[in-house]
Each structure stands twice: as structure tokens, then as C-alpha cells.
């Protein structure tokens, strides 16, 4: 769901804030579009398609047009990047008189270099502006106001969120660009999602901005406002549990350097960008290898590709709630300003995000990403040697890592997405779910009152069901392990019976049975109990002992879709059918649920691309990984939900000749007794 009141806060006083400047020329091919560039896009397009009241033309997405990979790599590998970077271009998806138009604008020629109408199913990301306009529309819609009166509600206390409606087998002609408006009642709460006004079906066609359907079943149950408060300023004592104030000290300042959008820290170097659809985009992540005195490539590009959040109540008010959040609402566009010291610790550096508003005018989300060093008391490596007579050795290195964070608030849910880099070479992607449940009003306050077979969730408060649902979070990971041509190895651990001929009391052991996936089919993985290492290797690069250099995937606990395969939401989200997919690199295959996710028919998903069963051995390949959470709500998730965390790790496997952090010097962790914690 989209947040409707899109407020932009500006922090003037924040010393560490750096802005994604609109004055400096972009230096890196992956730099996000600047405000100046977005304005230029608006001006150039306005020449061909006059934007104004007489012509319905809206910018649904504007982002960097993915530069040609071979040009980026030549630029990147040239000494001091002294060759011309690839042409800088913007990719625009617009709605133009009821059609989706894809436009590429070239900045050096200041011209439209490609312009075509999208033929096929699905619609682009919704804009914040059109969702607000739809709300205004409904608040003035007579039948709605009549219903409000009939229900005895105060219209000034009604707020809306918007819901995409999915696709349930309608023909292309029937699939209009409509959204469903979901009313909520404040009247004593600010936790709007916990007071849904159930029973109204309100559809708005966004292309013509008209209410196209309105019905009201005049249901009356409404969870109460009491008990939904979560602001510390409004909560009443007693407070607890009490936590000691915290401090993180870096007497010498942060250990990372940011040059434009390039981050250098410890042995890592990577580029960080912001995209209205993906949120954070990490690219050209490489690591300095002390043995060869060179940076070695790991991740060409990595980012969120899609999320899928199907709810498990098939009734009229709920069946359609099966969001594709990044494609429907924009995981970057819904990202929020991060709060210094709370969202990110002391020493964090913040970056702004800019994106195009509906008329092409740039909008800024200040402090949308933060970068910080994290020390959480973990151990990077250690050993105590106590067996040598007259000698006791203990060597310990604390684990410090670098985190790039974004928080995307898609309506009721807040997704915390972390990209964490470790000196040992690991990259950990973390996903934290928090925020507010999506709830259904019922007459019940106790499970003993339930009349139906299935209430599709848990009673989490009086008259309130937290409805069962899933969160599937799909990352696109274009790994380039020590270069682009890579292979995917499934290294199965298999149990062997000890042969009779071997003289041993042992009856069994396990050993490895690696298989290189030749085609896409062989690389689809449903995680489960099977003992299997999943490794992306560079078969052309070997360690001095002959092992192929690689990175392996350490997955989160396995979970996959539970809907039937021919259910419409599952057809549209068929990219969740496997946890891991490998595809050959293709510039246009970026969004796992399709470029046009809203109302898609599932004909442009990763699952469809993969059916071509292309060759993937020793090729430039892309890994797609989906983390799944099945969420059975519990009372602790009310009125706000403590963060539920998941994630995965990409870990070097025979990438280095030996432990890459062996010679990392111990750091001093100062005790902070005399330090006054900042309590702003
Ligand atoms: C587009 O150009 C017209 C003049 O042709 C101007 O009136 C209008 O303000 C421009 N719109 C935007 C959004 O720049
Ligand atoms: C309706 O709500 C508004 C805004 O909260 C309030 O000012 C007004 O008094 C309410 N009207 C009634 C009839 O309760
Ligand atoms: C609100 O709930 C609290 C307990 O959560 C209760 O003590 C209080 O009486 C309630 N207030 C009203 C107005 O119902
Ligand atoms: C890239 O993928 C798209 C969509 O799947 C496909 O139409 C196109 O032919 C592919 N390009 C290449 C070079 O394979
Ligand atoms: Cu959930």
C-alpha cells in the first residue's frame, strides 16, 4: 500500500548530511539522476509531449537507463577511469493518453533517442500524486459521502490508502488501470491501519480519474482506537523494559570515505545509488586482495527486484490484496527519511534520494540512505591455543562491518533493507519487517466466539484479526566473480556407505558431489533440507591449489509459496516458485515480476524468461534469490510489530588464497564511561 501523505522533511542542522548534489557533474556511470538531469528530462520531453492540462501525460518512472555493461567495464578497468564513460541516458515510463510510453533521453545530445508504446499487459508504478488525487476524488464523491452519513461516521476522520487490484483472469480490454481505495477511521488514533472501514468497494480509474465502482455493504464493526497508540509522547507509564543508553565511539572518526557515490572502506569499494523502484542499488563492488595488490570484482550490480505480499483471506474485501510492492508502488519512491541516531547509529553518513514527480519535477527524500560502521560485539575470528606446554595464545579480532541502509514504508509495513559488507569478503543482505499489521474488523474479542471455519488469521486485539500473509523479497544479484564469465555449481553433500574393502569401524561418511548447471533449468533451486552448497564460480580463475574462485550463497531458512500454481497471484509472482534462479545477463531482465507489475498477467516474469532454458555455463550470469516469510500474526505484532529479521550471505569460497583478514590488526574498542550519550 502506498503512503498518501508524502511529506518531505528537511534536516538543516545535520552535520554529516551530504547531498546528492545537483551542482557537481556526475562522475560515475551508475550515479543516480541528479535534480538537474531530471529537470532536463522534463524539458526535453515537454518539447515533444507538451505537459499540461490539455494533454494527459504523466511520468510514472524516471531512472538511469542501464548503461551498456561492456562499456561500463571498459571504463571501470581503464587506468584511473580515464576513458569516456558510456553515454548517460534516462529511462522514462510515462502514461500518455491512456498508453504506456517508454522513452530514452540522451543527455549529451539532449534528445529523445528511443520512444515506443508498450504493447502488452500491466501498468507502470503508481505515482504518489495520482494516489493523492484519487483520495481527493473519493472524499468528494457523493455516494461515498452518503454512505459515511449512513454509517454515522465523521468524514473528517477518514483517511485512505490505495491498493492495487491484481489480475484475476480478466481479458486485456477489461483490465483497466484501476486501484481500490481503502478507507480507515482515525477518531482517536493515529494508527490508521488498525481501524479499517470494512465493506466498501471503491474503485478509481487512474487514467480518467473517475470513481468507476462504489458499493457499500454497510458493515458496522470497527476496532476501537484505545490501545493502538505507539508514540512514546502519548503512552502512559509504567514504561519498560528499561535499556541503558548506548554509545558508539570512533575517536578517529568513521573509517570509510565517500567520493560522490563511491564508498571505500577497509578492503571494499562499491558504488551506491538510489532508484525510485529498487531503493538502494549497489554496483561495482570489489575487494582489494593484498596478495595480488589489486581490486577484484564481486558484484556488478545488486538490488531489490520485487516483493510479493499475498494475503490469505479470499473474501471480497481481501482477496485482491497481493501486492508487488516494488513494481506497484516503488520501493525507492516509498522510502523515508532516516532519523539520525535512531534509524542509523552515530557516525552514519546520510544521502538524499531524488526522483521525478508525476509532472517530471524532481522531488527529494532527504537522508533516504545511510552508511555506517557496525560493531555489535561479534567476533570476526579468534583462537585460543592452550595445548602447548608453557605457552598460552589468544588472538581475537572483533567483527566490524559496513552497512548501507534504506527503509521503505509501503503503507502499513516498514521494510528495513541492509547491505552489509564484511572485511572477510562476505556481503550480507538483511531484510527487517516492522510497522503495523493489516487487520480485519470482526465482532469477536475471544477465540471462543468464532463461528466460521477459518478466520484467516489471529485475533490480536478486540474486534481485530491480523490476517495471515507472506512476504517474498526478491533480490537481483549480478555477480561477476573475478570477471564476468561465471558458472553456477550445485555442490551436493552425499552420504556414502563405507566400502566393505576399507578396514574401518565407520559405516558411513559424506562427501561432495559438485555439478555445474549447464542451463537455466538445472539452476532452479527450491531450498529445503537437501545438503547442497550453491556456489557461483569463475571457472577461468583458479587458486594456486587449483580450486575455482567463487562465492557461495548462505540462504535464510527455506520458505516457498503455498498458493496453488494456477492461482492468479501466484501466476503473476511465479518468480517465487524457486528460491534461486540463474539467468544469463540480459539488460532488460531486471524486474522479476515484470517491468509492468501493476495488473500484470504474469507473462513477463523471471519464470517466463527462464523457460527459454538458456545456457549459463561460463557465461555472464545473474543470480536471483528470494527470501520468504510466512507471517501468522501474533498479539505481539499489535499495535506495532517488533522487527522480524531475515537475510542471506554471499561468502567467498576459495576466492582468496587464505583467510583474508588474518593480518587485520586488532582495533581498540574504547570503553565509554565518561562519554555523554547524545539524547536529541
Ligand atoms: C511544458 O511546456 C509548456 C509550454 O510549451 C509550458 O507551459 C509548461 O509549463 C511546461 N510544463 C512543464 C511541466 O514544464
Ligand atoms: C468531525 O471531525 C472534525 C475533525 O476531527 C472535528 O473538528 C468535528 O468536530 C467532527 N464533527 C463531529 C460532528 O463530530
Ligand atoms: C483504554 O484501555 C486501557 C487498557 O489498555 C484501559 O485501562 C482504559 O480504561 C481504556 N480506556 C477507555 C476509554 O476505554
Ligand atoms: C533479453 O530479454 C528480453 C526479455 O526476456 C528478450 O526479449 C530479448 O530477446 C533478450 N535479449 C537477448 C539479447 O537475449
Ligand atoms: Cu507480515
pLDDT, tens digit (0-9, with 9 covering 90-100), for 205-231: 999 999 999 999 998 899 999 999 999
Tens of pLDDT along 139-180? 999 999 999 999 999 999 999 999 999 999 999 888 999 999
Q: What is the pLDDT of residues 519-559, one digit of tens each?
A: 999 999 999 999 999 999 999 999 999 999 999 999 999 99
* CA of 584, closest atom in ligand 4: 14
Distance CA 577, CA 610 (A): 12
Q: What is the dihedral of CA 339, 341, 347, 352, to 10 degrees?
A: 0
C-alpha 247: how far from chain center: 29
- H/E stretch holding 615: none
Annotated active-site residue 325? The verdict is: yes
Q: What cell does 387 get?
A: 595445548
Alpha helices in 306-464 (DSSP H): 325-328
Which of the listed residues 187, 191, 223, 226 should we mutate to test ligand 3's pocket, taking the one with most ligand atoms within 8 A of CB?
226
- How would you classify the pairing of strands 532-542 and 439-441? unpaired
Counting beta carbons within 10 angstroms of the beta carbon of residue 337, is it exposed (0 to 12), middle (13 to 18) or buried (19 or more)? buried
> What is the spatial distance between Cα 206 and Cα 175, in angstroms, rounded to a whole number?
12
CB atoms inside a 10 Å sphere around CB 333: 27
**3-class secondary structure, 209:** coil
347: left (phi over 0), alpha (psi -120 to 50) or beta: left
At 506 the pLDDT is: 96
Please report the pLDDT score of residue 673 as a whole number.
Answer: 61
Exposed e or buried b per residue across 465-487, where buried means at least 16 C-beta atoms within 10 angstroms of its C-beta: bbbbbbbbbbbbbbbbbbebbbb
Maximum Cα interatomic distance, the chain, rounded to a whole number of Å: 89
Q: How far apart are the C-alpha atoms of 469 and 314, rounded to whole Å?
A: 11
pLDDT in tens, 15-52: 343 444 444 555 899 999 999 999 999 999 999 998 87
Q: Which three cell numbers stand for residue 117?
A: 508504446
Q: Taking a C-beta distance cutoff of 8 angstroms, is the pair 24, 260 a contact?
A: yes
Q: How many CA atoms does the CB half-sphere of 344 hold within 13 Å?
A: 28
Residue 25 is predicted with a pLDDT of 57
pLDDT over 70, % of the chain = 94
**Dihedral (Cα; 483, 488, 493, 498), 10-degree rounding:** -90
Contact status, residue 93 vs residue 104, Cβ threshold 8 Å = no
Nearest alpha carbon, ligand 3 atom 8? 226
Does ligand 1 lie within 6 Å of residue 359's CB atom? yes
Residues ≥6 apart with Cβ < 8 Å to 423: 266, 267, 268, 380, 400, 401, 660, 661, 664
Centroid of ligand 4 to alpha carbon of 606 (angstroms):
12
Overall average pLDDT of the 185-202 stretch: 96
Over residues 389-415, the pLDDT tens digits come to 999 999 999 999 999 999 999 999 999
* 94 and 58 Cβ atoms separated by less than 8 Å: yes
Using only C-alpha atoms, what is the Rg of the chain?
A: 26
Tell me how far the alpha carbon of residue 119 lies from the centroid of ligand 5, in angstroms: 34
Mean pLDDT of 612-632: 98
Q: Are 427 and 420 in contact (CB under 8 A)?
A: yes
Structure-block grid coordinates of residue 420: 552489509
Q: Is the peptide bond before 572 cis (omega within 30 degrees of 0)?
A: no
Cis peptide before 638 (omega within 30 of 0): no
Average pLDDT of the segment spanning 321-329? 98
Report the alpha-carbon distance of residue 680 to residue 675 in Å, rounded: 15
The strands making up 464-467's β-sheet, listed across from edge to edge, are: 439-441, 464-467, 457-461
Q: Are 305 and 592 in contact (CB under 8 A)?
A: yes
Q: Ligand 4: which of 70, 575, 589, 613 to mutate, most ligand atoms within 8 Å of CB?
A: 589
Residue 9: per-residue pLDDT: 36
Query: Torsions phi, psi of 41, nearest 5?
Result: -60, -45
The answer to whether residues 285 and 303 touch, using CB atoms and an 8 Å cutoff, is no
The average pLDDT across 627-654 equals: 98
Query: CB–CB of 659/425 below 8 Å?
Result: no
Confidence of residue 382 (pLDDT cuts 50, 70, 90): very high
Query: Residue 254 — pLDDT band, cuts 50, 70, 90?
Result: confident
- Please name each of the domains of the chain with its CATH number: 2-117 (3.10.450.40), 256-677 (2.70.98.20)
| Candidate from 157, 184, 185, 188 with most ligand 2 atoms within 8 A of CB, to mutate | 157
Task: Tell me the per-residue pLDDT of 281-297, one tens digit each, with 9 for 90 and over.
Answer: 999 999 999 999 999 99
User: How many other CB atoms sit within 10 Å of the CB of residue 540?
Assistant: 14
Whether ligand 4 lies within 6 angstroms of the CB of 394 is answered as no
pLDDT tens-digit readout, 444-455: 999 999 999 999
Mean pLDDT value across the chain: 93
**Residues flanking ligand 2, CB < 6 Å:** 154, 156-157
Binding pocket residue ranges, ligand 3, CB within 6 Å:
226-227
Over residues 496-505, mean pLDDT: 94
From 325, 328, 598, 604, the catalytic residue: 325
pTM for this prediction: 0.94
How many CA atoms lie within 13 Å of 677's alpha carbon, on the beta-carbon side? Answer: 12
Asked if 455 and 442 touch (Cβ cutoff 8 Å), the reply is yes
Cα 290 to Cα 143: distance, rounded to the nearest angstrom: 71
* Angle in degrees, CA 331, 337, 339, rounded to 5: 130
Amino acid at each position: 500500500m502506498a503512503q498518501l501523505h508524502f511529506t518531505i522533511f528537511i534536516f538543516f542542522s545535520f552535520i554529516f548530511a551530504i547531498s546528492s548534489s545537483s551542482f557537481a557533474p556526475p562522475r560515475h556511470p551508475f550515479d543516480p539522476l541528479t535534480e538537474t538531469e531530471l529537470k532536463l528530462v522534463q524539458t526535453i520531453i515537454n518539447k515533444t509531449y507538451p505537459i499540461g492540462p490539455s494533454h494527459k501525460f504523466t511520468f510514472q518512472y524516471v531512472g538511469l537507463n542501464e548503461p551498456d555493461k561492456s562499456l561500463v567495464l571498459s571504463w571501470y578497468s581503464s587506468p584511473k577511469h580515464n576513458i569516456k564513460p558510456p553515454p548517460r541516458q534516462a529511462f522514462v515510463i510515462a502514461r500518455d493518453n491512456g498508453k504506456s510510453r517508454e522513452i530514452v533521453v540522451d543527455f549529451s545530445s539532449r534528445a529523445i533517442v528511443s520512444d515506443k508504446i508498450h504493447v502488452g499487459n500491466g501498468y507502470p508504478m503508481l505515482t504518489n500524486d495520482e494516489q493523492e488525487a484519487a483520495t481527493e476524488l473519493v472524499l468528494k464523491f457523493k455516494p461515498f459521502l452518503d454512505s459515511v452519513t449512513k454509517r454515522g461516521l465523521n468524514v473528517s476522520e477518514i483517511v485512505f490508502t490505495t491498493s492495487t487490484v491484481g489480475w484475476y483472469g480478466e481479458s486485456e480490454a477489461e483490465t483497466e488501470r484501476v486501484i481500490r481505495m481503502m478507507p480507515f477511521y482515525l477518531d482517536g488514533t493515529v494508527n490508521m491501519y488498525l481501524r479499517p472501514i470494512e465493506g466498501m468497494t471503491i474503485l478509481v480509474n487512474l487514467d480518467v480519474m473517475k470513481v468507476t465502482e462504489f458499493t457499500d455493504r454497510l458493515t458496522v464493526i470497527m476496532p476501537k482506537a484505545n490501545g493502538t497508540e505507539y508514540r512514546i509522547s502519548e503512552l502512559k507509564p509504567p514504561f519498560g523494559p528499561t535499556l541503558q543508553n548506548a554509545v558508539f565511539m570512533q575517536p578517529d572518526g568513521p573509517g570509510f570515505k565517500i567520493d560522490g557515490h563511491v564508498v571505500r572502506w577497509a578492503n571494499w569499494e562499491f558504488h551506491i545509488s538510489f532508484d525510485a523502484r529498487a531503493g538502494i542499488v549497489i554496483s561495482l563492488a570489489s575487494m582489494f586482495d593484498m596478495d595480488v595488490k589489486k581490486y577484484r570484482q564481486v558484484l556488478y550490480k545488486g538490488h531489490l527486484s520485487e516483493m510479493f505480499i499475498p494475503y490469505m483471506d479470499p473474501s471480497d474485501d481481501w482477496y485482491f490484496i497481493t501486492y508487488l510492492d516494488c513494481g506497484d508502488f516503488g520501493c525507492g519512491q516509498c522510502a523515508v527519511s532516516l532519523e539520525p541516531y535512531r534509524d542509523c547509529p552515530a557516525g552514519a553518513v546520510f544521502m538524499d534520494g531524488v526522483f521525478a514527480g508525476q509532472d517530471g519535477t524532481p522531488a527529494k527524500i532527504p537522508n533516504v540512505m545511510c552508511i555506517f560502521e557496525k560493531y555489535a560485539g561479534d567476533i570476526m575470528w579468534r583462537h585460543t591455543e592452550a595445548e602447548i606446554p608453557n605457552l598460552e595464545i589468544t588472538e581475537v579480532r572483533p567483527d566490524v562491518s559496513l552497512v548501507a541502509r534504506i527503509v521503505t514504508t509501503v503503507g502499513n509495513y516498514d521494510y528495513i533493507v541492509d547491505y552489509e559488507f564484511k572485511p572477510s569478503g562476505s556481503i550480507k543482505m538483511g531484510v527487517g519487517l516492522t510497522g503495523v499489521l493489516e487487520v480485519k474488523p470482526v465482532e469477536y474479542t475471544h477465540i471462543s466466539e468464532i463461528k466460521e471455519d477459518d478466520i484467516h488469521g489471529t485475533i490480536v486485539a478486540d474486534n481485530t484479526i491480523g490476517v495471515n500473509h507472506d512476504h517474498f523479497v526478491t533480490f537481483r544479484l549480478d555477480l561477476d566473480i573475478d570477471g564476468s564469465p561465471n558458472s553456477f555449481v550445485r555442490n551436493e553433500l552425499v552420504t556414502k556407505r563405507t566400502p566393505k574393502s576399507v578396514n574401518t569401524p565407520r559405516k558411513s561418511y559424506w562427501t561432495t558431489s559438485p555439478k555445474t548447471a549447464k542451463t537455466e533449468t538445472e539452476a532452479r533451486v527450491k531450498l529445503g533440507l537437501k545438503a547442497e552448497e550453491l556456489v557461483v564460480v569463475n571457472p577461468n580463475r583458479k587458486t594456486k591449489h587449483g580450486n575455482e574462485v567463487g562465492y557461495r550463497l548462505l540462504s535464510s531458512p527455506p520458505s516457498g509459496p503455498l498458493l496453488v500454481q494456477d492461482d492468479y497471484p501466484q501466476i503473476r509472482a511465479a518468480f517465487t516458485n524457486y528460491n534461486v534462479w540463474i539467468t544469463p545477463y540480459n539488460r532488460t531482465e531486471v524486474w522479476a515480476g515484470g517491468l509492468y507489475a501493476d495488473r500484470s498477467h504474469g507473462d513477463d516474469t523471471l519464470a517466463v524468461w527462464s523457460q527459454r532454458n538458456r545456457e549459463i555455463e561460463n557465461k555472464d550470469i545473474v543470480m536471483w534469490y528470494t527470501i520468504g516469510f510466512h507471517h501468522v500474526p501474533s498479539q505481539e505484532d499489535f499495535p506495532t510489530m517488533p522487527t522480524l529479521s531475515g537475510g542471506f550471505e554471499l561468502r567467498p569460497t576459495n576466492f582468496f588464497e587464505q583467510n583474508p583478514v588474518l593480518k587485520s590488526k586488532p582495533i581498540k574498542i574504547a570503553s565509554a564511561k565518561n562519554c555523554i550519550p547524545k539524547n536529541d
